[in-house]
Structure 1
Amino acid sequence: MISAPLTRRAIFAQAWPIMLGQTTVPLVGLVDTAVIGRTGDATALAGVALGTVVINMIFWTFGFLRMGMTGMTAQAEGAGDAREVEAMLLRGVVAGVGLGVVLFALQIVLIPLALETMAGGGALDDAARGYVSARFLGAPASLAIFAINGWLFGRGRTRAALALQIVMNLVNIALNLLFVWHFHMGARGVGLGTACAEWISLAVGLAIAGRGVDWGRILSPALFGGGALRRLFAVNADIMIRTIALLSLFLWFTNAGARLGATALAANYVLMQFVSVSAFVLDGFAFTAESRVGQAIGAGSRSAMVRAIRLTGEFSLLAGIGFALLFFVLGPALIAFFASNPAVRAQAGAMLPFAAIIPAIGVPAWLLDGIFIGATRGRALRNAAILATALYIATDLLFRPFGESGIWWAFMASYLYRAVSLGAYLPGLLRTIEVAEPANGP
């Protein structure tokens, strides 16, 4: 059962709340960068950069709670199974909180191990450790929010997801400003502000998502029995491996900058905010593709799936080109605003063309991710991510003699590797979807 007509207007109506909500996600990173960067402390800024990569590496290992929930919920919605749709919400939240508690307990091992893999050391490690340890306080809430967002996206409830995202990020920004500028807590203050915002947002998310859910219908021994949780994790095991591979790719990129010193690392962190802005906004169309493709598969409609891919692809390409042009024009002014350190400004300005072009060349990779997540084709996602990461690392090693520019050439190539390796699976995916609509079409 497809929830709404597949028109450009319907696609954009579903995508714009995600785009607006996702815009506030990198906005938090931009505010963090400005808050720390304008103190003039390059080490603190580099510490937040390093700590952010560590947290992403650890927390987004469990990103399948968002991605898998979207695909599975959308397919249940497309099949018209209302009870399973509602049950997915509670299963996902319980799994997220439980995994978050385990992460919190293991932080005494995970934090030193993660920092050991980075080319930091000394004061840089101290700043990163303060940020990361504070973020672990919000681990259970953070992972549960992954599940809630995935469930909302799967149902096409993008305005509800927007409300949750806005609450979380506005609270995050306010607390970060309070802890860093008023209490002078530095990198740890940024992490603590985010952790507090995550717990507040979990309460808001449960209230938003739970409205209209028939708890009496889903609260039964069968909710977690009959292999329900096993299926949740089995479907997402390959997605988890895929996420680890891509996180390793970004970890390698950050570590490559760290090898060249705190200035290069801080400059790359500033530029990655540009990449993050475009990626998060373009995720509005990728997430719409997840929902629409999942619903089309649940309904058994190949024509609906193809149309969803085409329409979301059109919007994605136009938006990607637009972001590239915007960053070429406004990039120097944004760099000057976010970093007061002259050396960081100069380094970021030199590498700006690389970061500016990524929104355009990254479109196919981001959209294909959405297509295969909605289809819950974990094996294809896993294999493509592993191959792309391996090719990226080989390219980075090959380009090391070119210094900082070599780092960015390899990073740009990684998006092409991701698109080609995953796109090779697309014809096979289309062949597996049976045509189930009436002969006269919708």
Structure 2
Amino acid sequence: MSVLPPSESPVSRASLALRLADVRAIVVLAWPVLVGQLAIIAFGVIDTAMVGRYSAESLASLGLGASIYISVFVALTGILVALSPIAGNLYGAGRVAEIGEQTRQAIWLAVALSVIGAVLLTFPAPLLDVAKADAALRADATRYLRILAVGLPAALLFRIFNSLSTAIGKPRIVMTLQIVSLAVKIPANYALIFGFAGLAPMGGIGCALASTLINGIDACAALWIMARGSAFQPLQIFSRFSWPQWPHQRALLKLGIPMGVSYLIEVTSYTFMALFIARFGTATLAAHQIAGNMGAVLYMTPLSIGIGTATLVAQRIGADRLEAARRLSGSGILLASIVGLFYAGAVLLLRGQIAAAYTSDAHVAATAAGLLMIVAAYHVFDAFQVSTAFVLRSYQVTVIPTAIYAIALWGVGLGGGYWMGFDLGGHLPHVWTGANGFWIANTLSLGMAGIGLGLYRRHVVRRFKGNRQA
């Protein structure tokens, strides 16, 4: 009688089949998210590439202003993203009509957050002081941020629509709007940056104006779809008016504030890195902007996989299918990690061509190519940690992951980056200092965060299963 080896046993084949089914389900949700996210990140790529052709000075002011805006925007949207796991759980449990009230409450929360964000963007002097930038750079960055402040409410509203659409398994609607927005962004950017048909050239300021106009259009489209779209009719979002209700607001804030703080920690570790790197001069800051922009493009794939995985996990938890949720979470993290390794290899091979595509300045391109070598390693750790973080959010666990981020990204990443970048010890090799030092420290911090989040995920899954069984 023959015995099948373990790799070919019926149990192993069944497990493999389930894993493949998980991957297919994740990909079905993740690819529209990815396309939409790439369309949005293309806003930044297009801004960087176009302004880089306009002037290195404008590119530096864009990098400085964008780093501040992203910090504010991501922290606020991180709070609003709490709607996604809540709506996903309700959708999985079949309590679809309750999602409408949660959405109305999230909109009220977005209004309050818009006021806070607009004030920070309109008066950015404290953050600009950290960079110790020259007067011209500060002035351009301030004008850039004040224009984006006008479009912030619309951007936050669209983020609610984005989170809700993904939570109910309809990411293609958002993807379509984001692609259309990109198609509008390209000619609008060109006309406002370089001048066209009587318009004076605005440089980096033109990017902000184009983005603000597009945010307004997207928000109007989102409201119309939530009110009239067939996929959203069962949710009854605008079937009645609701004032802010503290129990709902408290639930959103309890989950959302730690998420927003973790987003803020993650982004400010990059933001302050940009502010400190600004001290090394315009050319180094421009190279950093290229490396960061490329890192953001790579990040979109594991981010999308994480979002798709978290959506499915939240729905399975709502349906009380805990074993399926556990298996799905592992499949999604593995998929994101494999893709991250592939992307890292591609960046290593093509770093010179990538840098040259962003800028015609040979010195900036050479500096950026060196940074891209570090970005390759950075991305491998980033892929693992972001997919794991999204899985934890689907379990509505946010406080401990936030603490892990704070220790790793602020302590090791930003603190270690400052120590290496400015060589406070006075004995580091030159190649480990400057912008390289900041990127190396941030790479190590993401590795530390990934290990912490991975170990905590195992604990959460076991604890969650035990609580449900009890």
The TM-score, its normalising length taken from structure 1, stands at 0.91
Question: Partner amino acid for 1:415?
Answer: L
> Is 2:181 the counterpart of 1:164?
no
**C-alpha separation in 2, matches of 1:119 and 1:295:** 48
Equivalent residue number for residue 405 of structure 2:
385
Partner of 1:117: helix, strand, or coil? helix
Asked whether the 8 Å contact 1:67–1:373 carries over to 2, the reply is no
Equivalent residue number for residue 96 of structure 2:
82
Displacement after TM superposition at 1:65 (Å) = 4.1
Partner of 2:82: helix, strand, or coil? helix
Equivalent residue number for residue 386 of structure 2:
366
> Is 2:422 the counterpart of 1:409?
no
Paired residues in the alignment total 432
**C-alpha separation in 2, matches of 1:289 and 1:313:** 8
**C-alpha separation in 2, matches of 1:306 and 1:178:** 50
1:127-276 to 2 correspondences below 5 Å: 127-182=140-195, 183=199, 184-210=201-227, 211-212=229-230, 213-214=233-234, 219-220=239-240, 224-225=244-245, 227-276=247-296
Displacement after TM superposition at 1:300 (Å) = 2.2
- Across the aligned residues of Structure 1 and Structure 2, the Cα RMSD in angstroms comes to 2.3
Partner of 2:81: helix, strand, or coil? helix
**C-alpha separation in 2, matches of 1:119 and 1:368:** 36
For residues 266 and 9 of structure 1, do their structure 2 counterparts lie closer, same or farther at Cα, with a shift above 3 Å needed? same
Asked whether the 8 Å contact 1:274–1:356 carries over to 2, the reply is no
**C-alpha separation in 1, matches of 2:94 and 2:281:** 55
1:3-42 to 2 correspondences below 5 Å: 7-39=22-54, 41-42=55-56
Deviations 1:143-197 (A, max 9, x none): 1112111111211212112112223333333322221122311111111111111
Equivalent residue number for residue 45 of structure 1:
59
Asked whether the 8 Å contact 1:93–1:145 carries over to 2, the reply is no
> Is 2:364 the counterpart of 1:333?
no
Partner of 1:74: helix, strand, or coil? helix
The TM-score, its normalising length taken from structure 2, stands at 0.86
Partner of 1:362: helix, strand, or coil? helix
Displacement after TM superposition at 1:368 (Å) = 1.1
Which one is further off, 146-155 or 355-364? 355-364
Deviations 1:195-231 (A, max 9, x none): 1111111112223344132576864576743622232
Identity fraction in percent: 21
Which one is further off, 91-100 or 198-207? 91-100
Displacement after TM superposition at 1:365 (Å) = 0.7
**C-alpha separation in 1, matches of 2:179 and 2:450:** 31
Displacement after TM superposition at 1:303 (Å) = 1.0
Gaps of 5+ in 2: 1-19, 424-432
Deviations 1:395-435 (A, max 9, x none): 21332322332122112112112212222321221023338
Asked whether the 8 Å contact 2:98–2:235 carries over to 1, the reply is no
**C-alpha separation in 2, matches of 1:29 and 1:220:** 38
